Protein backbone atom coordinates (compact mmCIF):
# COMPACT_ATOMS: atom_id res chain seq x y z
CA UNK A 1 0.00 0.00 0.00
CA UNK A 2 1.43 3.33 -1.05
CA UNK A 3 2.22 6.16 1.37
CA UNK A 4 -0.78 8.39 2.09
CA UNK A 5 -0.75 12.18 2.33
CA UNK A 6 -3.29 14.99 2.09
CA UNK A 7 -2.60 18.53 0.98
CA UNK A 8 -3.72 21.03 3.62
CA UNK A 9 -3.28 24.60 2.39
CA UNK A 10 -0.12 23.73 0.51
CA UNK A 11 1.35 21.52 3.24
CA UNK A 12 1.53 17.76 2.75
CA UNK A 13 0.23 16.01 5.86
CA UNK A 14 1.61 12.50 6.27
CA UNK A 15 -0.93 9.86 7.30
CA UNK A 16 1.62 7.14 8.10
CA UNK A 17 0.55 7.80 11.69
CA UNK A 18 -3.27 7.95 11.65
CA UNK A 19 -4.92 11.27 12.52
CA UNK A 20 -7.81 11.96 14.86
CA UNK A 21 -10.71 14.14 13.74
CA UNK A 22 -12.67 15.55 16.68
CA UNK A 23 -16.40 16.21 16.27
CA UNK A 24 -18.05 19.55 17.08
CA UNK A 25 -21.80 19.52 16.44
CA UNK A 26 -23.38 22.98 16.38
CA UNK A 27 -26.80 21.42 16.56
CA UNK A 28 -29.49 20.85 19.18
CA UNK A 29 -30.41 17.40 17.82
CA UNK A 30 -27.22 15.39 17.32
CA UNK A 31 -27.70 11.73 18.34
CA UNK A 32 -24.98 11.96 21.01
CA UNK A 33 -25.69 14.68 23.56
CA UNK A 34 -22.02 14.97 24.52
CA UNK A 35 -21.14 16.40 21.10
CA UNK A 36 -23.82 19.13 21.04
CA UNK A 37 -22.32 22.57 21.62
CA UNK A 38 -24.35 25.76 21.42
CA UNK A 39 -22.69 28.64 23.23
CA UNK A 40 -19.43 30.29 22.18
CA UNK A 41 -17.87 29.27 25.48
CA UNK A 42 -18.86 25.60 25.02
CA UNK A 43 -17.54 25.51 21.47
CA UNK A 44 -14.20 27.14 22.34
CA UNK A 45 -13.77 24.72 25.24
CA UNK A 46 -14.58 21.78 22.98
CA UNK A 47 -12.11 22.82 20.26
CA UNK A 48 -9.42 23.40 22.89
CA UNK A 49 -10.12 19.97 24.38
CA UNK A 50 -9.76 18.28 20.97
CA UNK A 51 -6.41 19.97 20.37
CA UNK A 52 -5.13 19.38 23.91
CA UNK A 53 -5.98 15.67 23.71
CA UNK A 54 -4.09 15.21 20.45
CA UNK A 55 -6.72 15.75 17.76
CA UNK A 56 -5.47 17.14 14.45
CA UNK A 57 -8.70 17.99 12.60
CA UNK A 58 -11.79 19.81 13.92
CA UNK A 59 -14.94 18.64 12.11
CA UNK A 60 -17.75 21.19 12.42
CA UNK A 61 -21.31 20.31 11.53
CA UNK A 62 -24.42 22.44 11.55
CA UNK A 63 -26.90 19.77 10.56
CA UNK A 64 -27.66 16.53 12.38
CA UNK A 65 -27.56 13.38 10.25
CA UNK A 66 -29.59 11.23 12.65
CA UNK A 67 -32.65 9.56 11.02
CA UNK A 68 -34.97 11.57 13.31
CA UNK A 69 -33.37 14.93 12.44
CA UNK A 70 -34.88 17.77 10.41
CA UNK A 71 -33.37 18.62 7.03
CA UNK A 72 -32.32 22.28 6.98
CA UNK A 73 -31.75 24.51 3.95
CA UNK A 74 -28.27 25.82 3.04
CA UNK A 75 -29.31 29.25 4.30
CA UNK A 76 -30.42 27.86 7.67
CA UNK A 77 -27.20 25.88 7.97
CA UNK A 78 -25.06 28.92 7.16
CA UNK A 79 -26.94 31.01 9.71
CA UNK A 80 -26.09 28.41 12.33
CA UNK A 81 -22.43 27.80 11.50
CA UNK A 82 -21.05 31.13 10.23
CA UNK A 83 -20.78 32.75 13.68
CA UNK A 84 -19.13 29.57 14.99
CA UNK A 85 -16.59 29.42 12.17
CA UNK A 86 -15.81 33.11 12.68
CA UNK A 87 -14.88 32.84 16.34
CA UNK A 88 -13.10 29.48 15.93
CA UNK A 89 -10.99 31.11 13.21
CA UNK A 90 -10.18 33.99 15.57
CA UNK A 91 -9.43 31.79 18.58
CA UNK A 92 -7.61 28.98 16.74
CA UNK A 93 -6.11 30.46 13.54
CA UNK A 94 -3.77 27.51 12.98
CA UNK A 95 -6.32 24.74 13.54
CA UNK A 96 -7.19 22.44 10.62
CA UNK A 97 -10.95 22.76 10.18
CA UNK A 98 -13.30 20.46 8.30
CA UNK A 99 -16.88 21.39 7.35
CA UNK A 100 -19.44 18.59 7.62
CA UNK A 101 -21.99 19.55 4.96
CA UNK A 102 -23.65 18.23 1.81
CA UNK A 103 -24.39 21.71 0.44
CA UNK A 104 -21.94 23.26 -2.04
CA UNK A 105 -22.91 26.79 -0.96
CA UNK A 106 -22.05 26.02 2.67
CA UNK A 107 -18.77 24.36 1.67
CA UNK A 108 -17.78 27.32 -0.55
CA UNK A 109 -18.51 29.89 2.16
CA UNK A 110 -16.67 27.87 4.83
CA UNK A 111 -13.54 27.49 2.70
CA UNK A 112 -13.37 30.94 1.11
CA UNK A 113 -14.54 33.05 4.04
CA UNK A 114 -13.33 31.14 7.10
CA UNK A 115 -10.29 29.19 5.93
CA UNK A 116 -11.81 25.72 6.32
CA UNK A 117 -9.38 23.16 4.90
CA UNK A 118 -11.49 20.01 4.26
CA UNK A 119 -15.00 19.29 2.97
CA UNK A 120 -16.74 16.33 4.59
CA UNK A 121 -19.81 15.34 2.53
CA UNK A 122 -21.89 12.44 3.83
CA UNK A 123 -23.91 12.32 0.59
CA UNK A 124 -21.04 11.78 -1.84
CA UNK A 125 -22.31 14.64 -3.96
CA UNK A 126 -25.80 13.17 -4.29
CA UNK A 127 -27.77 15.80 -2.35
CA UNK A 128 -26.24 18.77 -4.22
CA UNK A 129 -25.34 18.21 -7.86
CA UNK A 130 -22.95 21.19 -7.79
CA UNK A 131 -20.81 19.79 -4.96
CA UNK A 132 -18.18 18.04 -7.11
CA UNK A 133 -17.49 21.05 -9.36
CA UNK A 134 -17.37 23.24 -6.25
CA UNK A 135 -14.80 20.96 -4.61
CA UNK A 136 -12.73 21.05 -7.79
CA UNK A 137 -12.79 24.86 -7.83
CA UNK A 138 -11.92 25.14 -4.14
CA UNK A 139 -9.01 22.69 -4.47
CA UNK A 140 -9.28 21.23 -0.96
CA UNK A 141 -9.38 17.61 0.24
CA UNK A 142 -12.82 16.01 -0.05
CA UNK A 143 -14.19 13.27 2.19
CA UNK A 144 -16.34 11.04 -0.03
CA UNK A 145 -18.82 8.97 1.97
CA UNK A 146 -21.19 6.19 0.97
CA UNK A 147 -24.88 6.76 1.62
CA UNK A 148 -28.17 6.17 -0.15
CA UNK A 149 -31.13 8.55 0.12
CA UNK A 150 -31.07 11.25 2.79
CA UNK A 151 -30.36 11.01 6.52
CA UNK A 152 -34.12 10.86 7.02
CA UNK A 153 -34.71 8.04 4.48
CA UNK A 154 -31.38 6.20 4.41
CA UNK A 155 -32.53 3.18 6.40
CA UNK A 156 -35.10 2.42 3.69
CA UNK A 157 -32.21 1.68 1.31
CA UNK A 158 -30.38 -1.24 2.90
CA UNK A 159 -30.99 -3.82 0.17
CA UNK A 160 -27.94 -4.58 -1.96
CA UNK A 161 -27.42 -7.16 -4.70
CA UNK A 162 -23.82 -7.68 -3.55
CA UNK A 163 -23.17 -5.55 -0.47
CA UNK A 164 -19.38 -4.99 -0.48
CA UNK A 165 -19.13 -5.10 -4.28
CA UNK A 166 -21.90 -2.49 -4.65
CA UNK A 167 -20.12 -0.08 -2.30
CA UNK A 168 -16.79 -0.64 -4.10
CA UNK A 169 -18.52 0.16 -7.41
CA UNK A 170 -20.07 3.31 -5.89
CA UNK A 171 -16.63 4.61 -4.90
CA UNK A 172 -15.10 3.62 -8.23
CA UNK A 173 -17.64 5.72 -10.12
CA UNK A 174 -17.45 8.69 -7.75
CA UNK A 175 -13.65 8.77 -7.65
CA UNK A 176 -13.46 8.58 -11.44
CA UNK A 177 -15.88 11.50 -11.72
CA UNK A 178 -13.92 13.57 -9.20
CA UNK A 179 -10.62 12.75 -10.89
CA UNK A 180 -12.06 13.86 -14.24
CA UNK A 181 -12.75 17.27 -12.66
CA UNK A 182 -9.21 17.52 -11.34
CA UNK A 183 -9.94 16.49 -7.74
CA UNK A 184 -7.12 14.27 -6.48
CA UNK A 185 -7.18 14.74 -2.68
CA UNK A 186 -10.00 12.30 -1.95
CA UNK A 187 -10.55 10.56 1.39
CA UNK A 188 -12.85 7.52 1.33
CA UNK A 189 -15.37 7.03 4.14
CA UNK A 190 -17.36 3.73 3.88
CA UNK A 191 -20.25 5.35 5.77
CA UNK A 192 -20.87 3.24 8.84
CA UNK A 193 -24.47 3.56 9.99
CA UNK A 194 -25.69 5.12 6.75
CA UNK A 195 -28.02 2.98 4.59
CA UNK A 196 -26.77 -0.14 6.35
CA UNK A 197 -28.27 -2.65 8.77
CA UNK A 198 -26.56 -3.60 12.01
CA UNK A 199 -25.19 -6.77 10.42
CA UNK A 200 -24.03 -4.94 7.28
CA UNK A 201 -22.01 -2.51 9.39
CA UNK A 202 -20.00 -5.39 10.84
CA UNK A 203 -19.59 -7.03 7.44
CA UNK A 204 -18.25 -3.69 6.20
CA UNK A 205 -15.85 -3.40 9.12
CA UNK A 206 -14.59 -6.94 8.51
CA UNK A 207 -13.81 -6.03 4.89
CA UNK A 208 -12.22 -2.62 5.45
CA UNK A 209 -8.97 -3.71 3.83
CA UNK A 210 -10.77 -4.02 0.49
CA UNK A 211 -11.01 -0.23 0.32
CA UNK A 212 -7.26 0.16 -0.03
CA UNK A 213 -7.76 -0.74 -3.70
CA UNK A 214 -8.45 2.97 -4.32
CA UNK A 215 -5.07 4.03 -2.92
CA UNK A 216 -6.72 6.93 -1.10
CA UNK A 217 -6.71 7.69 2.62
CA UNK A 218 -9.42 5.84 4.54
CA UNK A 219 -11.58 7.51 7.19
CA UNK A 220 -13.63 5.54 9.69
CA UNK A 221 -16.41 7.12 11.74
CA UNK A 222 -18.12 4.71 14.13
CA UNK A 223 -17.94 6.80 17.31
CA UNK A 224 -20.80 5.93 19.69
CA UNK A 225 -23.03 4.86 16.79
CA UNK A 226 -25.94 2.44 17.13
CA UNK A 227 -23.95 -0.38 15.49
CA UNK A 228 -22.05 -0.48 18.78
CA UNK A 229 -24.63 0.26 21.43
CA UNK A 230 -27.44 -1.85 19.97
CA UNK A 231 -25.23 -4.93 19.85
CA UNK A 232 -24.10 -4.29 23.44
CA UNK A 233 -27.61 -3.46 24.67
CA UNK A 234 -26.66 0.00 25.90
CA UNK A 235 -26.94 3.55 24.52
CA UNK A 236 -24.69 6.22 23.00
CA UNK A 237 -23.54 7.34 26.45
CA UNK A 238 -22.55 3.78 27.34
CA UNK A 239 -20.73 2.91 24.12
CA UNK A 240 -17.25 4.37 24.62
CA UNK A 241 -15.61 1.01 25.32
CA UNK A 242 -17.24 -0.58 22.27
CA UNK A 243 -16.19 2.38 20.14
CA UNK A 244 -12.58 1.96 21.30
CA UNK A 245 -12.61 -1.73 20.34
CA UNK A 246 -13.90 -0.97 16.84
CA UNK A 247 -11.50 1.96 16.37
CA UNK A 248 -8.64 -0.39 17.22
CA UNK A 249 -9.84 -2.92 14.66
CA UNK A 250 -10.18 -0.14 12.07
CA UNK A 251 -6.60 0.96 12.69
CA UNK A 252 -5.38 -2.61 12.31
CA UNK A 253 -7.23 -2.67 8.98
CA UNK A 254 -5.39 0.43 7.78
CA UNK A 255 -7.65 3.36 8.69
CA UNK A 256 -5.81 6.68 8.27
CA UNK A 257 -8.29 8.98 10.04
CA UNK A 258 -10.66 8.26 12.93
CA UNK A 259 -13.63 10.63 13.30
CA UNK A 260 -14.52 10.58 17.00
CA UNK A 261 -16.24 12.22 19.94
CA UNK A 262 -13.66 10.94 22.44
CA UNK A 263 -10.28 12.18 21.25
CA UNK A 264 -8.07 11.07 24.15
CA UNK A 265 -9.15 7.44 23.88
CA UNK A 266 -8.73 7.43 20.09
CA UNK A 267 -5.22 8.91 20.35
CA UNK A 268 -4.37 6.11 22.78
CA UNK A 269 -5.69 3.57 20.24
CA UNK A 270 -3.35 5.01 17.61
CA UNK A 271 -0.36 4.94 19.95
CA UNK A 272 -0.89 1.38 21.16
CA UNK A 273 -1.67 0.03 17.70
CA UNK A 274 1.46 1.69 16.28
CA UNK A 275 3.55 0.02 18.98
CA UNK A 276 2.09 -3.39 18.14
CA UNK A 277 2.73 -2.81 14.44
CA UNK A 278 6.46 -2.41 15.13
CA UNK A 279 6.61 -6.07 16.00
CA UNK A 280 3.87 -7.52 13.85
CA UNK A 281 6.08 -7.91 10.79
CA UNK A 282 9.00 -9.49 12.63
CA UNK A 283 9.43 -13.22 12.23
CA UNK A 284 10.35 -15.42 15.16
CA UNK A 285 13.58 -17.37 14.90
The catalytic residues are: 225, 259
Helical residues (DSSP H) of 53-130, grouped into ranges: 74-91, 104-114
Torsion sign over Cα 100, 215, 266, 231: positive
Residue 241: phi and psi, rounded to 5, are -60, -45
- Secondary structure element (H or E) that encloses residue 52, with its range: helix 40-52
Which 8-state DSSP code applies to residue 249? H
CA distances from 53 to 47, 76, 205, 211, 266 (A): 10, 32, 26, 29, 9
User: Alpha-carbon dihedral of residues 73, 37, 40, 191, nearest 10 degrees?
Assistant: -60
Residue 232: phi and psi, rounded to 5, are -95, 5
In angstroms, what is the C-alpha Rg of the chain?
18
| Whole-angstrom distance, CA of residue 131 vs CA of residue 144 | 11
The number of residues making up the chain comes to: 285
| Whole-angstrom distance, CA of residue 26 vs CA of residue 245 | 27
Instruction: Indicate the SS3 state at residue 143.
Output: strand
Amino acid sequence: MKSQTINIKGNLIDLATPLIMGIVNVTPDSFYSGSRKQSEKEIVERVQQILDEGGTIIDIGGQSTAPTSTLHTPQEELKRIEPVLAFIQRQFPDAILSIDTFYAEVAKTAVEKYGVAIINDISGGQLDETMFVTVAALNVPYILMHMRGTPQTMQQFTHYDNFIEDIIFYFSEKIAHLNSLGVNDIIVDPGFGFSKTLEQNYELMAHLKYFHIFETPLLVGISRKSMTYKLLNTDAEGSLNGTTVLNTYALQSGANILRVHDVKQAVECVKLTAELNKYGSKELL
